[in-house]
Structure 1
Amino acid sequence: MAVRLYPNVLRPSSIFPIRYSKPTQIRRFSVQNCSMLDANDSRKLILEVKEKLEKDYSSLPLGKNGRDDEEMILWFLKDRKFSVDDAIKKLTKAIKWRQDFRVSELTEESVKSVAETGKSFVHEFPDVDGRPVLLVVASKHFPLMQDSVDDQKLCVFMIEKALSKLPAGKEQILGIVDLRGFGPQNADVMFLTFLFDVFYYYYPKRLGEVLFVEAPLVFQPIWQLTKPLLKSYASLVRFCSVETLRKEYFTEDTLPANFRD
């Protein structure tokens, strides 16, 4: 169980330098590569899932992101390599979570107070690969002073907003964590774990890559604590510099204002 990391947890002896050398090829997940099934076979599996959900989970809601949402069913089938039982298990958990978390009730107004901190927002332009960009400014996050539930609501709202900006043919978003100015007072292992858990369980394979930009030495023990909890999702993380971000992920016109000279 993840716990929030408070400033006094940091130990100087745990700090090691972070190198910005070019990483090995980052494995990007793609649901399109999970299946060799044709449209007819996929359709049969979708209907099978719908029938089982209607029979065994009739209390779950209907409609968009509900138990009869065929697009959502197909996505979870792909995520679970078209195993009906595995897809149902993960899908029902996701639908129930959306219901309990009241995802459909999240609005700009409902997260306004925490959004005004500027700690997280969806960039107006996609990256060079056409992916919507969700940007987090770590130096504006203060876990001892801010409500964790409000932070979680903002996180989910911004994920939903980024996904709503997916262009045709694109399925994943880019996450950027600006770590310039990060200090012990900003450390929050619990929230970082929540973020990756949300992507794994409820938005599977929607996160294409996560950039940790200009990570200071003090961030290293945070990463060492968090990395084992992320499992395969840790492979999506790339530590990089602002210069790399500018050259490889954006054009001069689409670069977020945070990273302009």
Structure 2
Amino acid sequence: MRKFNHFDEFYLISVLVLEVKEKLEKEHYDLPVGENGRDDEDMILWYLKDRRFSVEEAIAKLTKAIRWRQEFGVADLSEDTVKSIAKTGKAYVHDFLDVNDRPVLLVVASKHLPDFDVFYYYYPKRLGEVLFVEAPFVFQPIWQLTKPLLKSYASMVKFCSAETVRKEYFTEETLPISFRD
């Protein structure tokens, strides 16, 4: 049995990315190109990894995501858009990073509406590095219904107590006001 080295792995991944690009160009030529488009190699790689390197599954999910981005007008989102949503009090970006240097989005579940999705699509390349803190902790019953629909994305969500948030994610100086005693 042949052992693969890093060059072999890089080569195989590059071949898969190219295969996805070519199929998207041939089968979905109407999709936009450029950043977050059908030829965005970083995004293609992300979807390949997400779909465990299944080219067909990555294409299906990527096509759907690009079309959604187009329909929703993600390219037109701006910092002002995010700020206007933040003014509603449904969610806000914390002024400080957490102890792992990740941006923090605080979501007030009692005020939550689908507008929250704007943060995900405004910062898609950093999603894996964002700490999502949900308070108050009434969202878990809804989460049990939603979790199966999210598949691998569900692993990005962690529920923890306010005490855990205080001790593990922030310093005393950076702790969000809503988590102070």
TM-score category by the smaller chain?
0.7 to 0.9
* Residues 128-167 of structure 1: CA deviation (Å, up to 9, x unaligned): 233322111234x17xxxxxxxx43x32332245556x4x
Q: Is 1:70 aligned to 2:41, yes or no?
A: yes
Contact 1:135 1:176 in 2 (8 A): yes
Q: Following superposition of structure 1 onto structure 2, how do residues 31-50 of structure 1 map, counting pairs within 5 Å?
A: 38-50=9-21
* Residues 72-125 of structure 1: CA deviation (Å, up to 9, x unaligned): 000001111111111111111111110111111122434554421222112232
SS in 1 for 2:97: coil
| Paired-residue identity, % | 52
Distance 1:224 1:155, change over 3 A: closer
Paired residue type of 2:71: D
Name the CA distance, whole Å, in 1 between partners of 2:14 and 2:157.
Answer: 34
Distance 1:235 1:88, change over 3 A: closer
Name the CA distance, whole Å, in 1 between partners of 2:35 and 2:25.
Answer: 15
The one of 90, 98, 105 aligned to 1:134: 105
SS in 2 for 1:254: coil
* Residues 215-235 of structure 1: CA deviation (Å, up to 9, x unaligned): 3xxx3xx64354133215556
Contact 2:17 2:41 in 1 (8 A): yes
Q: Following superposition of structure 1 onto structure 2, how do residues 141-156 of structure 1 map, counting pairs within 5 Å?
A: 141=111, 151-152=113-114, 154-156=115-117
Question: Which is bigger in relative contact order (C-alpha 8 A, separation at least 6)?
Answer: 1
Name the CA distance, whole Å, in 2 between partners of 1:37 and 1:255.
Answer: 45
The one of 116, 123, 131 aligned to 1:174: 131
- Cα offset for 1:240? 3.0
Distance 1:108 1:52, change over 3 A: same
Paired residue type of 2:90: K
Contact 2:90 2:116 in 1 (8 A): no
Paired residue type of 2:119: M
Give 1:119's aligned residue.
Answer: 90
* C-alpha RMSD of the superposition: 2.6
* Residues 150-202 of structure 1: CA deviation (Å, up to 9, x unaligned): x43x32332245556x4xxx9432111111xxxxxxxxxxxxxxxxxxxxxxx
- Cα offset for 1:50? 0.6
Distance 1:162 1:246, change over 3 A: farther
Give 2:174's aligned residue.
Answer: 254
Give 1:6's aligned residue.
Answer: none
Name the CA distance, whole Å, in 2 between partners of 1:51 and 1:234.
Answer: 30
Greater share of helix: 2
SS in 2 for 1:121: strand
- What stretches of structure 2 of length at least 5 have no aligned partner? 1-6
Contact 2:74 2:122 in 1 (8 A): no
Give 1:158's aligned residue.
Answer: 119
Q: Is 1:227 aligned to 2:147, yes or no?
A: no
SS in 2 for 1:43: helix
TM-score by length of 2: 0.80
- Cα offset for 1:254? 2.2
Distance 1:70 1:259, change over 3 A: same
- What stretches of structure 1 of length at least 5 have no aligned partner? 1-35, 143-150, 180-214
